[in-house]
Structure 1
Amino acid sequence: MCAAVYLLSTVTGYVLTSALLMKCPTLLHRRKREAFTSRHISHRGGAAENLENTMAAFKHAVDVGTDMLELDCHLTKDEQVVVSHDANLTRATGIEGCISDVAYADLPSYLCKLGVTFQRECYCEAGEDKCMPLLRDVFEAFPNTPVNVDIKVNNDTLIKKVSEMVIKYDREHLTVWGNSSNKIAKKCYKENPRIPVLFSLPRVLQLLGLFYTGLLPFVPLKEQFLEIPMPSIITNILFSPTLGYFSISSLFWDQVYIWVLNDDEDFQRAFDLGATGVMTDFPTKLKDFIERNGITKP
């Protein structure tokens, strides 16, 4: 009985949403259009081809032709915005401690070999560049390349400094920021609503609920970018081409990113399902796949 009621409510909500969006798709929403479109996104600069979040990785990705760099930010003890994924230094440097407790000039170098988080039994060996760069270094080196900034900790100073830097380098139209945490994403939007913001994980789940209950047309949405994982085991349920995220996003968003995909089968699956772009640790592999299959920007 409960299952039948749930199914009926889901179907009713979906039909209601579909009808409302067909009749008045801009009831509260305008389709989000950004200054750039990203098919090819390099996760941490391409963590399987160069050490993650290094200038060498970013330069290689840009040389390959990536449409967007994805990176992570923390704040050092002397309040420098440094590009690094982990708050703790142990995994990447072998030195115990936290970035927030160390001045930028005293940060240790990366290890000579790092594991690739989203690729099993895969390691990347370092070249000459083993330094954690400052965010301003990235902005200065790649002034025309879109950058996806993941604010890794709930720190008001970090958020403010990133916003100030985006403004200083005239990158409000070339930057998207946020975090899976809704608290951080909300603070980002409040600090600077002109910088496009990502859906946090709770907001992605809320978006799906609104869609299925028929309430989506009545709820204002501040986010401009959907950035979601694609676990293969649940892909057919959550990423159906007729239900779920993509049918929602096709109405309102030009930018739907799927992360982190590292083989041709997943690349193909994501694009077949309607993803705008794919985030990868292998920028060269993704470039070859896109060229080989004639995938163009929408």
Structure 2
Amino acid sequence: MAYWWLIAVGVVGGYWVVSLVLLRFPNILHKRKQVKFPCRHVSHRGGAGERLENTMSAFRHAVDDCRTEVLELDCQLTLDGQVVVAHDDLLDRICGVSKSVSDYRYDELPEILSSLQLTFYHKMEVHPSENESVQDRKIPLLRDVFTAFPGVPINLDVKTESTELLEKVETMIKEFDREAITPWGNFRDSVTKNCYAKNPNIPLFSSIRRVVLILLWFYTGLLPFIPIKESFFEILMPSTATKIFDLSERRNHLTWQHRALVWIIDLLLMRPVLFRHLQRRGIKVLVWVLNDDEDYERAFRLGADGIMTDFPTKLREYLDKNQSLLSKDE
């Protein structure tokens, strides 16, 4: 009986030794991915806390004034097959109408409202800047964004599971020679799988399901053995969810059980050892959506490669002040 116990202990022990070695040296098994651009400063929806989200004005401000390294934006398809930049399918939040983007031809789309509620911040409304025109409140075409910012990396969220949308976006990415600088995907795994199947040469970011799987593989020791198709591991910092909730009018509805669950998820997900392993495989770790210095500090201290923010000016000021603390190679 003891003989079989020794075999079992040897097998399990050997598995964990190999797993730990490969955790530290993953390139023994896996070819390192090559992301060809820095991504510390990512402007979420173009910087939705400083300009109307997903507008040309927001993108210009992020690139020209804040020196953002990556624009994050979302795309949908109109009734006449135009690829437009918009986060929500239903236009009630951004345009005040209870219809979908796909219900309109592009030239019939309503204007964006003059003020929008910021999604990841407490009770803040964003208004156009003084020098914005009515044209800046028009939902832009993805083609116009690619034309205006030819060398700027764009993190592209393909919002719907549409074969036509996927084909048009992929064609446009190749037309503008952006395959190396336009990571794409969606938090729904089905859309992300379709993106990868359509063109595996375009960098991919992780769906929610893949984040959960990678976490499961990490804690069972399997992660070092498993190939990863994604080039970007994009995650929410769970502690920010509690912070946003606490600042809202529903604060008292967050029970201690909810807080405990968020704390546990945060503890499991925000692991420097996990981040370092992914980075050794060439996978960039991006944390979203962070909007104050305290969260910037924590994300970079834990080893994140970059941050998505609604406030590109604030993040730029933080990075400029903390260059000596952020000397990690891109």
TM-score, normalized by length of structure 2? 0.82
Contact (CA 8 Å) 2:22, 2:225: kept in 1 or not? Answer: no
For residues 242-282 of structure 1, the C-alpha deviation after alignment (integer angstroms, 9 at most, x for no partner) is 4xx41432331341110000000000000000000000000
User: Residue in 1 aligned with 2:97?
Assistant: 95
Letter in 2 for 1:48: G
Q: Does structure 2 retain, via aligned residues, the 8 Å contact 1:258–1:278?
A: yes
Give 1:276's aligned amino acid.
Answer: D
- 2:32 partner amino acid: R
1:200 aligns with 2:201: no
- What is the alpha-carbon distance in structure 2 between the residues aligned to residue 15 and residue 287 of structure 1? 42
What do you get for the CA RMSD once the two structures are aligned? 1.9
The runs of at least 4 aligned residues of structure 1 exceeding 6 Å deviation read 10-14
Following superposition, the deviation at residue 15 of structure 1 comes to 5.6
Give the number of aligned pairs. Answer: 286
Q: How does 1:223-262 map to 2 (within 5 A)?
A: 223-232=230-239, 233-234=262-263, 235-242=266-273, 245-262=274-291
* Structure 2 residue 319 is matched with structure 1 residue 283: no
Where does residue 271 of structure 1 map in the other structure?
300
Corresponding residue SS for 1:175: coil
Deviations 1:69-119 (A, max 9, x none): 000000000010000000001110011101011100000001110011001
CA deviation after TM superposition for structure 1 residue 220, in Å? 2.0
2:44–2:71 contact (8 Å) kept in structure 1: yes
Overall identity of the aligned pairs, in %: 49
Once the two structures are overlaid, the 10-residue window that deviates more, 12-21 or 279-288, is: 12-21
- Match of residue 25 from structure 1: 26
| Equivalent-residue separation in structure 2 for 1:296 and 1:42 (angstroms) | 21
Q: CA deviation at 1:238?
A: 2.0
Residue type matched to 1:168 in 2? E
Structure 2 CA distance, aligned partners of 1:11 and 1:206? 23
Equivalent-residue separation in structure 2 for 1:205 and 1:122 (angstroms): 31
1:172 aligns with 2:179: yes
* Structure with greater Cα Rg: 2
TM-score by length of 1: 0.91
In structure 2, distance between residues paired with 1:147 and 1:297: 22
SS in 1 for 2:27: coil
Superposed displacement of residue 27, structure 1: 4.7
Find the aligned partners of 1:13 and 1:45 in 2 and give their Cα distance: 45
Following superposition of structure 1 onto structure 2, how do residues 53-202 of structure 1 map, counting pairs within 5 Å?
53-63=54-64, 64-126=66-128, 127-128=132-133, 129-202=136-209
Secondary structure (helix, strand or coil) at the match of 1:148 reads: strand
- Find the residue that maps to 1:26 and give its secondary structure: helix
1: CA distance, partners of 2:17 / 2:80: 54
Report if aligned partners of 1:55, 1:133 keep a CA contact under 8 Å in 2. Answer: yes
Answer yes or no: is the 8 Å Cα contact 2:26–2:277 preserved in 1.
no
- Give the residue type in structure 2 aligned to 1:269: R
Which one-letter code corresponds to 1:95 in the other structure?
A: V
